[in-house]
Structure 1
């Protein structure tokens, strides 16, 4: 029974039935004929509800009549435009109709709201989406390569020897903070270049290392604390996991839905001849 419920074909049939019902419900006021516009009780209640949500009060009799009159004119213009074929081959209208159909089918596409077992599986299969960033605390000596362009290699060797012997060494810039406390991995990479944090991950804690290269120049670094990233338990991030899971499910259901649509059509692509017009 569970397998049957999860079948895409069954979902497609249910979606079709749901769309038919929605279409009948929305368009029920147009039954009397093409030249008749009937404003149903349900439509009037919709006008009132939208007005109340917008203005925090119900519309007056005059305001409600204005809403109805505007809808009637809108409906007349719509019917005339369709009769004249204005809706044909219009990219904006085509896109809007697609969006509306997707909106109407979104709720029907979702067969499940996501229980903990489904969310646990999704979390285990996509840990990087939810991993908490690691952080680093370190001291650094920045070496500006332009300042030592003539003897950079020898100067780096000199700095390394001084640091190993416990001597104090001045950084080449006051704008690059010497002390970095509990800086998230993403911020380290943002400030010093891609994967600079990866270089810090391989260093021994409490010892000077380097020089390490960044987009700014050379750095001698002493890591004092390193906190590795971790994936939280589902209970800690359930809402986030559920949002991601629902989005992934919607995309997959939409893909299946589109495949069923495509089965009804033969697609012929008339590619332009290579080099035509040359």
Structure 2
């Protein structure tokens, strides 16, 4: 159990946080001495250089490099002066940015180590419905426009039902919608005809004319030629996506756990008197 505790990402975060706090305290001991000193390290200069190259796709001139360094120094000076005046206090933008940086740090810690194969396999099995391929359909459709009087629409529909009963194909109105679709997934069909149409296909009979089915354009008679049930792909085929989903889930679980630990360290007092007085 002790071994498992030391492997817990939350333990790792607490250790790193402790180191950061100690470092901060040590630096603040000399704050009065060094507050007027700004050191631009070689690593920072290289970072500014690489950032320029990435944006402009060329090496900066000496004048441009001097300008980048000067801008960085002024940013640092402005930040220090603003903090010394207390301008960082009670600022929602700064507060959100600090929270965001801490969340990014937690994400780096929670998923620093890639998942073992058995862990990834278990996650894949547990969430396999998210990776199952959707059913695909091959069908014909005849479009019936409802851009006319309801009585006319109903008469037209009755005539087509009679044709189907006689073993004939229904007749419809011209449209820009495709008359035939081959091996298209339910999602693609929903985007083209609407959710109601796609859902109706799942309960429609095969190899016979059926309808009318509502869409976002009007009504349709459909003839489903083939249905291919959705299958679950092998983990190896979608490993990158599963790992990304695992990382996201791990981040969420870690953040929830970390926030619960943080809440235990604080006493929360909420004064609702003003709100209740207004009721």
What range describes the TM-score normalised by the shorter chain of this pair?
0.7 to 0.9
Per-residue CA distance 1:206-262 (angstroms, 9 max, x = gap): 111222333433322110111122221101000111111111111111111112221
1:42 CA drift (Å): 4.1
Query: CA, structure 1 residues 113+25, in 2 after alignment: closer, same or farther (shift >3 Å)?
Result: farther
The count of aligned residue pairs is: 278
| Maintained 8 Å contact 2:133/2:232 | yes
- Helix, strand or coil for the counterpart of 1:261? helix
Assess if the C-alpha contact under 8 Å between 1:29 and 1:40 holds in 2: no
Quote the residue 2:114 is aligned against: 113
SS of aligned partner of 2:222: strand
- Which residue number corresponds to residue 123 of structure 1? 124
Distance 1:28 1:59 in 2: 38
SS at match of 2:11: helix
Deviates more, 1:40-49 or 1:210-219: 40-49
Match of 2:259 in 1: 258
Unaligned stretches of 5+ residues in structure 2:
none
Aligned partner of residue 150 in structure 2, secondary structure: coil
CA distance in 2, matches of 1:259, 1:84: 33
More helix by share: 2
Distance 2:276 2:87 in 1: 35
Please state if 1:86 is matched with 2:87: yes
In the alignment, the residues of structure 2 paired with residue 150 and residue 45 of structure 1 have an alpha-carbon distance, to the nearest angstrom, of 76
CA contact under 8 A between 1:110 and 1:253: conserved in structure 2?
A: no
Q: In structure 2, what is the equivalent of residue 35 of structure 1?
A: 36
Q: CA deviation at 1:138?
A: 0.9
Partners of 2:276 and 2:14 in 1: CA distance: 46
Query: Contact between 2:142 and 2:179, CA under 8 Å: does it hold in 1?
Result: yes
Once residues 47 and 146 of structure 2 are traced to their aligned partners in structure 1, the CA distance between those partners, rounded to angstroms, is: 69
Q: Give me the whole-angstrom Cα distance separating, in 1, the residues matched to 2:166 and 2:243.
A: 54
Q: Distance in 2 between matches of 1:240 and 1:58?
A: 36
Corresponding residue number in structure 2 for 1:165: 166
State the secondary structure of the residue aligned to 1:138.
Answer: strand
- The 3-state SS of whatever aligns with 2:248 is helix
Q: Secondary structure at the match of 1:225?
A: strand
Deviations 1:23-75 (A, max 9, x none): 69999997952233333444444444444555566656555444433333222
What's the TM-score, normalizing by structure 1?
0.82
Does the C-alpha gap of structure 1 residues 142 and 47 become closer, same or farther in structure 2, counting only changes over 3 Å? closer
- Structure 1 residues 89-98 or 150-159, which shifts more? 150-159
Does the CA-based 8 Å contact 2:169-2:209 persist in structure 1?
Answer: no
Q: Which residue of 2 aligns with 1:229?
A: 230
Please provide the CA RMSD for this pair.
3.3
